[in-house]
Amino acid sequence: MNLSCFSQSYAQARQAFLASCAQRGLAVESHIHPLTGRDGEQLAIDVALHGNADAPNLLVLSSGCHGVEGFCGSGVQVDRLNDDAWFAATQRDDLAVLYIHALNPYGFSHLRRVTHENVDLNRNFVDFSQPLPDNAEYRAIAPVLLPKKWPVGSGNLLQLLGLTLRYGRKGLQAGISRGQHSDPKGLFFAGSEPTWSNLRLREILRKYGQSCQRLAWVDVHTGLGPRGYGERIYKGKQNADDIARCRRWWGNAVTNAAEGNSASADLNGTIDLGVMAECAQAQYTGVTLEYGTLPGKQVLSALRGEQWLYNHPEAPAAQHQLIKQQMRDAFYVDADDWKQQVLEQAKEVMEQGLAGLYS
Ligand SMILES: [Zn+2]
């Protein structure tokens, strides 16, 4: 497999995606972000449709929901676009394949997991007209999680260990990561209104997602689970028929956070909720394709450090650079064996999604 589909910056990744689309003669619709990137570059969600807009089958491949995780997902998209066999297999009158590049372009460029609003886009699809869910565990954990000083000393690490004993490893992970609405400067903040990316995704779906009868979605993420393993995490309603169909398509290895067998906790406000709401006419079948990178402790430490940096912009340049490097390393393994594993599994998952649509 050709590993040149992976990039070293958002700007490079965007150029690679646009070039691959141009090579295939696909028009790209760009939703320009109001802010600029790390190197002053333009930021955008770029969307390319291969096929008929009114086809009954729609297969979506999306990247960069969690900003910095886009290094992986963008590489996967470019690899699929460049693959002649894949392109030929998806060239059908009754099919459209939608490539959504960099759902959260700001986070991708600035090496953040969250959006420019400090919001976790994959927790932001809640009904803001209703009372927002409370996360009492998060509020209890936050003072330890978000220390005044970085790096932390041994006292903070002991406190974190104490919290792990109190809540259990899974319980602590759920409290930290399932989403919280109480602290706009905290981790896994789910927002107080729909973010820019949330609104743009809904626009995209109102344009491309209204004719399909069957909708398959693969959303690429990183940062959880064993290094290089692509966990297929069920996304959709907790309904036995939908879960069974997802496992027929993608195999019994499909996990479901609600069943407690996933590396991920059960989350609030994930994007599939927005997709199902906007494309209510379609039968939705989707997975998060979640690739492991570094051990969980290191990933959490990278997230905590980066959140500290966000709240302490006065940090010295050298520390800023170190924290951002650790952040990138936590969500993108810049090694050939990892990239190879990523592409092989993504190829299989996309082929299974395609076959599933016609099963
Ligand atoms: Zn993610």
78 DSSP assignment: H
CA–CA distance, 213 with 261 (Å, rounded to integer): 30
Do residue 142 and residue 273 come from a single domain?
A: no
344: CA distance to ligand 1 center in Å?
Answer: 19
Give strand pairing partners of 28: 48
Q: Give pLDDT tens digits for 215-260.
A: 999 999 999 999 999 999 999 999 999 999 999 999 999 999 999 9
* 69 Cα: distance to centroid of ligand 1 (angstroms): 6
The yes-or-no verdict on residue 264 having pLDDT over 90 is: yes
Measured in Å, residue 14 CA sits from the centre of ligand 1 at 19
152 and 214 housed in the same domain: no
214 and 338 together in one domain:
yes
What pLDDT does 21 receive?
A: 98
Q: Is residue 300 part of a domain?
A: no
Number of domains in the chain: 2
> Per-residue confidence at 191, pLDDT binned at 50, 70, 90?
very high
Is the residue at 324 inside a domain? no
What tokens were used for 14? 């965007």
**Whole-angstrom distance, CA of residue 325 vs CA of residue 305:** 11
Any domain includes 320: no
Mean pLDDT of 204-210: 98
pLDDT digits (tens, 9 = 90+) for 309-350: 999 999 999 999 999 999 999 999 999 999 999 999 999 999
Asked whether residue 1 carries a pLDDT value surpassing 90, the answer given is no
Examine the domain organization and report whether 14 and 115 are in the same domain. Answer: yes
Residues 85, 91: Cα–Cα separation, whole Å: 10
| 343 and 255 share one domain | yes
> Do 106 and 201 lie in a common domain?
yes
Looking up tokens 């996309």 gives 350
The Å distance, Cα 25 to ligand 1 centre, comes to 30
User: For the chain, what is the largest distance between any 2 Cα atoms, rounded to a whole number of angstroms?
Assistant: 62
Do 240 and 339 sit in the same domain of this protein? yes
Contact 246, 349 (CB under 8 A): no
> Phi and psi of 135, rounded to 5°?
-130, 85
CA 272 / ligand 1 centre spacing (Å): 13
Beta strands in the chain (DSSP E): 28-36, 42-51, 57-62, 95-101, 214-227, 230-235, 283-292
The strand order across the sheet containing 42-51 reads: 28-36, 42-51, 95-101, 57-62, 214-227, 283-292, 230-235
Same domain, 32 and 93: yes
Asked if 70 and 161 sit in the same domain, the reply is: no
Q: How far apart are CA 76 and CA 91, in angstroms?
A: 19
Look up the domain containing 284 and give its range. 3-127+192-293+332-357
pLDDT tens digit sequence for 21-38: 999 999 999 999 999 999
| Ordered alpha helix ranges (H), 209-312 | 240-250, 271-278, 296-311
Centroid of ligand 1 to alpha carbon of 251 (angstroms): 21
Please indicate, yes or no, whether the overall pTM of this predicted structure exceeds 0.95: yes
Clarify whether residues 147 and 117 are in a common domain: no
Residue 69 counted as domain residue: yes
The Å distance, Cα 140 to ligand 1 centre, comes to 24
